[in-house]
A = this chain, B = another copy of it.
Amino acid sequence: MDRLLQGVKIRINDKLFIKDPESSELGKKIIEKSIQMINEKGWENFTFKKLGNEIGSNESSIYRYFENKHKLLLYLTSWYWSWLEYQMVFATNSIKNPKEKLFQSILIITREIKEDSDFSHINEVLLNKIVINEYSKSYLTKEVDKENKEGYFVVYKRLVSRLRDMIKEVNPEYIYPSSLASTILESGLHQHFLKDHFSSLTDCNANVTPTQYLTHLVFNTLNQNLNE
C-alpha cells in the first residue's frame, strides 16, 4: 500500500549496524548517550572511547554495535528522517487539499523540535540539533556514491520524493519540484543554523521561523502560473 509501513517501527538499514542497538540495554545506552555527547562535544570531538567511559562500558563493546562513528551518524540521522517521515505522513494522510497537505508537511519538516517524546531512549530535541549541525558531514565524503548505492540514504531520499510529489500536486506545471523539495529540507536546517550562529545572514529569529520563510517562498513560487 504505502512505503511508510515498512518504516513504522523506525526500521533502519541493517548495514548501518553490526548488532542492532535496539536489541539490548547496552545498545540503547549507546544510542542515548551518543546523542547527548555529540551535542555537547560536537561530531569531531566525539569518540567511541569517550562514549565508553561515559556509559561505564568498553570501547570494544561499542565496536560490536557500530563499525565506526560514521555509521553511527548515518544510523542516528536515518532514525531522525524516518521519525519525521512518520510524523509527516501520519499528520497529512487524511488531508485532501493539496495545498494544505504541503503546508502541513513543510511545517513538520522545518519546525524546531522542542519536546522529546520522552518514552524512548532517543531524545528527538537533541537529535534535531545533531541533524542541523552534522547531517551534511554524513554525505559530504568521498564515499558518498558507494554508500548511496548501499542504501544508506534511502530514508532521506524518500522524504524528499514525498515532498516532491506533494509539490507536483499543488502545481503540476512547476518544473523544479525535486530541487524545491530538496531545498526545503536543506534550507530548513541551514536557516536554523544561521539563526543560532550567523544572525545577520537570516531573517529568522525568535519570532520568525524558518517554516514561515520557506512556506512563503514555496507558495509564492508555486502560485505563480497557477489559477486558483
Contact = CB atoms under 8 A, between A and B. Distances in A.
Interface of A: 41-42, 44-45, 133-134, 136-137, 139-142, 144-145, 148, 153, 157, 160-161, 175-183, 186-187, 190-191, 193-194, 197-198, 200-204, 210, 213, 216-217, 220-221, 223-224
A199 to B, nearest CB: 9
Contacts of A183: 183, 187, 190-191, 217
Given A137-B137, A183-B191, 15 more contacts: A41-B142, A44-B141, A133-B140, A134-B140, A136-B136, A161-B200, A175-B216, A176-B217, A177-B203, A179-B204, A183-B183, A186-B186, A186-B187, A217-B221, A220-B221
Main secondary structure of the interface of A (DSSP, over half): helix
B161 A178 contact: no
Contacts of A204: 179
